[in-house]
Amino acid sequence: MPTLGELAAFLGVGLRGDPATAVVGIAPLARANASQLSFLANARYLGQLQHTQAAAVILRPDQADGCPVACLLADNPYLAFARATTLFVDEAPAPAGVHPSATVSPLAQLAANVSVGPNVVIDNGAAIAEGVVLGANCVVGERCSIGAGTRLHPGVVLYRDVRIGEQCTVHSNTVLGADGFGFAPSPEGWQKIHQLGGVRIGDRVEIGACATIDRGALEDTVVEDGAIIDNLVQIAHNCHIGKNTAIAGCTGLAGSTIIGANCTLAGGVGVVGHVEICDNVHITGMTMVTKSITEPGSYSSGTPMAPTRDWKRSAVRFAQLDSIQKRLAGLEKQQQQ
Amino acid sequence: MPTLGELAAFLGVGLRGDPATAVVGIAPLARANASQLSFLANARYLGQLQHTQAAAVILRPDQADGCPVACLLADNPYLAFARATTLFVDEAPAPAGVHPSATVSPLAQLAANVSVGPNVVIDNGAAIAEGVVLGANCVVGERCSIGAGTRLHPGVVLYRDVRIGEQCTVHSNTVLGADGFGFAPSPEGWQKIHQLGGVRIGDRVEIGACATIDRGALEDTVVEDGAIIDNLVQIAHNCHIGKNTAIAGCTGLAGSTIIGANCTLAGGVGVVGHVEICDNVHITGMTMVTKSITEPGSYSSGTPMAPTRDWKRSAVRFAQLDSIQKRLAGLEKQQQQ
Amino acid sequence: MPTLGELAAFLGVGLRGDPATAVVGIAPLARANASQLSFLANARYLGQLQHTQAAAVILRPDQADGCPVACLLADNPYLAFARATTLFVDEAPAPAGVHPSATVSPLAQLAANVSVGPNVVIDNGAAIAEGVVLGANCVVGERCSIGAGTRLHPGVVLYRDVRIGEQCTVHSNTVLGADGFGFAPSPEGWQKIHQLGGVRIGDRVEIGACATIDRGALEDTVVEDGAIIDNLVQIAHNCHIGKNTAIAGCTGLAGSTIIGANCTLAGGVGVVGHVEICDNVHITGMTMVTKSITEPGSYSSGTPMAPTRDWKRSAVRFAQLDSIQKRLAGLEKQQQQ
């Protein structure tokens, strides 16, 4: 239960109000009560400011005059709000030590102050650094390494040779290092290509729940520092995700996709294999990326939603588009005569 | 092995035939044998009725005359069939009590007659009501509550503060309450917004396997009573799913999506964030919902499937559509002169 | 660490070079060092051949003259490479026997030489054949059978009545046999249709991570021999996947879809329910299959990716397509007068 004074110090921002006032949570402007903090990050909500019941509001210094309650004055209120959330997480610290039900190889190396939950399995040659938290039922394969401060939530599976950096978070039931989907056709059916690479995850990476990042065929699949990856994302073998790139839920990347730094892929995007996307590219939701992108900017595919009846009419015409264009060209030709 | 008489009583329907005949299973009309029950729910299969070998058929009273075997006379045969399936589930009851390999916090509350499977982990402050079944390897976080008669199949993970109502079913490896995908951009990269809300699931909700429902950023993510959610569905933070709404597999909802009651989303649908869909809306498969929907009805996007060669021709013209329309307008102008 | 002589014998191919040379791994042509094997499977990389530092290269006999190092002469270098990967998997053999933390029903049948990992749960009536490997935390339900040599990676859940053939691989956190998404509408909401069928997987099938294959409603959901299924794929109840068919990541099949043999579905494909796809069909990425396919060939839907600004112009016109065609028809009519 931080006070406004403690919050201002933590955020490194100015305070207009009583530093001794304590706040117990964070809520939206319109719903915050007198013991909650709020924030104004979008001018759209400016109208709600004057009626807010919050204990205090994080806002820009130039917005402070319209605020009927205490203010925390931040140049970037949304970022200050994000940082403030750190203080309000209501979660017991992970118990220190190795739970007696865990199965830890004597050939694994664990730093002194790790938290290994119930039923965790750690295989030979794994190296678990300081402050790592392994939730219940996590499995850490041979020769994996997990950097300091990283947390795996319950049910995460790391196959062998998965290296995760420091201060990462991996959410439940995500699988890192399963075999890439590599098979060669043969007269007897598909011949499996055993996947000999591993997975390398940088520092400060967050990976959502039920996501899959496959091991590389010959070399590692790589996710660079600071990347954030949402739930149910599929990253195939040999992909390379650049620094601070964000990938939203249900997106699937086919094999050997290379994505630059600071890209944002919205939800449900698909990227075909062996393409390269340069830095600073945004892909809108459910776009199918079918070729490399060499210029920063925003890219899209698909068609707009419409009532099904209207949409059907358009869809029928879509299949006639080539003939429509030919008929048009025919008319133009006649016109010119 | 119910008899036809028991079935008629259970379903509350009339019987034409010998009430002592026992049936051992259910099969489609064309394949049912003399010890199996069948049903006629679609006029398309009326032709199969006269040849059926089934022990008995659930059908409408007006269809009974065409039936060569015993009949269960139901106004809604499909619904009666659905109810009848309850009697044919071949599954041992979940063992009573707490399996010795489970790790249950002394600060959790368990009703007397729960079934807690092997390796289950239940954290502090969790409340497990009567008749709850927790399959092997489930993890129940701090302060979660699970209502009477609810079943979690093996491998389900509930993060802290997930509340599930009564008579729900959650299928294996689904994750409820993982962090929503909330990050603020900062000069040093993405600043995590700790997700301070929880998840609230109503009564009689069914959630498929490997699905993810994230905790809310400040308030709860909510799924109302009677909603049904299929496998591999992603429901992002702060979503609100209305009563009896059905969401088919591989659908993804971005953050703060509000969906009304009695909606049906077909498979692979995507919904962008912060939109609202009113009650009684149907979305066809793989539609991208890019804006709010305020009128009940059916909505679609996408293009029809075609042989790739034909499709490519249409796809090329799609990119020329604006110029095609301009050329058309030009011709129209000339025509008018 | 096989020698080139051993490799040639294993692959059944000719060798040009010193059979005593040992190789320690496989790498792409441009990056292989003097202790690594490489391969030339695509004429595109022919230019890299003359500069390769590899110990040896797998290539076609007619390409051998351009190779500066030892050669393994294979008619199908890619297939030979795939087979060679078998020799370079760096993974400890699964420990023999049943881990003491496993919970195995006395009513289950286990062959003598199985490997049952930590925390595995095996229920009544399950039958585990010779050489089966069950990774940590796998759950095997009532009456399941797993054929000789099959491996389940950690966290796989099999509900009751799932039968898997021989030499299969199922990757982590995949769920086989969860309830199909079957519900009948009723005045009180959705009435669950209990799913009374099971799942039957043939021999030599590989299934990726976090995939879901639901049990059938009345009969089994079936995957035939040699099929390969990638991560995060959803296969609904009553589907039938033909022999050697390949399904890439994030694809979803609705209920009762029948897919023939030797088909390839690229990533993110959706197939509506109750359609049939004949043998030898290819579906391109993110296609929505809305009707049955009776002719072999390649099929597609969707629109090409473009910069969002350009795409928006096309998207607006898509919604006007019917009116565009009508305007065109009007002009044509005038022209003919």
* CB of A307 less than 8 A from some CB of B: yes
The residue-averaged pLDDT of A267-294 equals 97
**Mind telling me how many Å the CA of C144 is from chain B's nearest CA?**
12
* CB of B313 less than 8 A from some CB of C: no
- Backbone CA torsion sign across A300, A175, C289, B205: negative
Which pLDDT score, from 0 to 100, does residue B335 have? 82
- The CB density around residue A254, as the number of other CB atoms within 10 Å, is 27
Whether the CB-CB separation of B215 and B178 falls below 8 Å is answered with yes
Active site residue A237: yes
Q: Which of chain C's residues have a Cβ under 8 Å away from the Cβ of B88? A: 194, 196
The residue-averaged pLDDT of A99-119 equals 97
A95 — pLDDT class (breaks 50, 70, 90): very high
A336 — pLDDT class (breaks 50, 70, 90): confident
Structure tokens at C103: 């919970």
CA distance A54 to B210: 39
- Please provide the average confidence, as pLDDT, over all residues in chain B: 97
CA atoms within 13 A on the CB side of A133: 17
| Contact across the interface for C322 and A324, Cβ inside 8 Å | no
Which pLDDT score, from 0 to 100, does residue B273 have? 92
Q: Note down pLDDT in tens along chain C; length 337 residues.
A: 899 999 999 999 999 999 999 999 999 999 999 999 999 999 889 999 999 999 999 999 999 999 999 999 999 999 999 999 999 999 999 999 999 999 999 999 999 999 999 999 999 999 999 999 999 999 999 999 999 999 999 999 999 999 999 999 999 999 999 999 999 999 999 999 999 999 999 999 999 999 999 999 999 999 999 999 999 999 999 999 999 999 999 999 999 999 999 999 999 999 999 999 999 999 999 999 999 999 999 999 999 999 999 999 999 999 999 999 999 999 999 887 7
| Contact across the interface for B304 and A315, Cβ inside 8 Å | yes
Q: Does residue B337 carry a pLDDT above 80?
A: no
A335 — pLDDT class (breaks 50, 70, 90): confident
The active-site residue out of A51, A99, A194, A237 is A237
User: Which residues of C form the catalytic set?
Assistant: 237
Query: By C-alpha distance, which of A163, A147, A292 is closest to A220?
Result: A163
Q: Is B34 exposed, middle or buried (0-12, 13-18, 19+ CB in 10 A)?
A: exposed
**Mind telling me how many Å the CA of A323 is from chain C's nearest CA?**
10
* CB of C121 less than 8 A from some CB of A: no
Lowest-confidence region among B42-51, B127-136, B261-270, C82-91: B42-51
pLDDT > 70 in chain A, percent: 100
* CB of C208 less than 8 A from some CB of A: yes
Say what angle helices A321-336 and A308-318 make with each other, to 10 degrees: 60
Helix (H, G, I), strand (E, B) or coil at B84: helix
**A22-47 tens-digit pLDDT:** 999 999 999 999 999 999 999 889 99
The residue-averaged pLDDT of A226-230 equals 98
Whether the CB-CB separation of A215 and A229 falls below 8 Å is answered with no
Q: Residue C218 is nearest to which of B27, B86, B171, comparing CB atoms?
A: B27
pLDDT > 90 in chain C, percent: 96
Q: Across the strands, what pairs with C151?
A: C133, C169
Task: Give the pairing type, strands C199-201 and B36-39.
Answer: unpaired
Q: Which of residues 25-64 of A touch B (CB under 8 A)?
A: 25-28, 31
Give the residue carrying structure tokens 């959650």.
B170
Domain ranges of chain C: 4-88, 97-299, 308-337
Q: What pTM was estimated for this model as a whole?
A: 0.97
The residue-averaged pLDDT of B117-133 equals 98
- Please provide the average confidence, as pLDDT, over all residues in chain A: 97
Q: Residue B303 is nearest to which of A90, A250, A303, comparing CB atoms?
A: A303
The active-site residue out of B153, B171, B237, B240 is B237
CATH topology of domain A4-88: 3.40.1390
Taking one residue from A and the other from C, the number of pairs with CB-CB distance under 8 angstroms is 239
Task: Write b or e for each residue in B260-296: b if 16 or more Cβ atoms lie within 10 A of its Cβ, otherwise e.
Answer: bbbbbbbbbbbbbbebebbeebbbbbbbbbbeebeee
Which of B186, B281, B301, B328 to mutate against chain A (most A CBs within 10 Å)? B301
Helix (H, G, I), strand (E, B) or coil at C289: strand
Q: Residue A194 is nearest to which of C86, C304, C319, comparing CB atoms?
A: C86
Q: Does residue B82 carry a pLDDT above 80?
A: yes
Query: By C-alpha distance, which of B320, B265, B253 is closest to B290?
Result: B253
Q: Which of chain C's residues have a Cβ under 8 Å away from the Cβ of A186? A: 76, 79, 82
**Mind telling me how many Å the CA of B52 is from chain A's nearest CA?**
38
Lowest-confidence region among A216-225, B136-145, B290-299, B327-336: B327-336
CA distance C272 to C253: 7
| Contact across the interface for C92 and A124, Cβ inside 8 Å | yes
Which pLDDT score, from 0 to 100, does residue B152 have? 98
**Mind telling me how many Å the CA of B266 is from chain A's nearest CA?**
13
CA distance A215 to A237: 5
**A173-205 tens-digit pLDDT:** 999 999 999 999 999 999 999 999 999 999 999
| Contact across the interface for A103 and C92, Cβ inside 8 Å | no
Q: DSSP class of residue B250?
A: T
Neighbours of chain A (3+ CB pairs under 8 A): B, C
Domain A97-299, CATH: 2.160.10.10
**Least CA distance to C302: which residue of chain A?**
A302
Whether the CB-CB separation of A303 and A286 falls below 8 Å is answered with no
Q: Which of chain A's residues have a Cβ under 8 Å away from the Cβ of B288? A: 268, 285-286, 302, 305
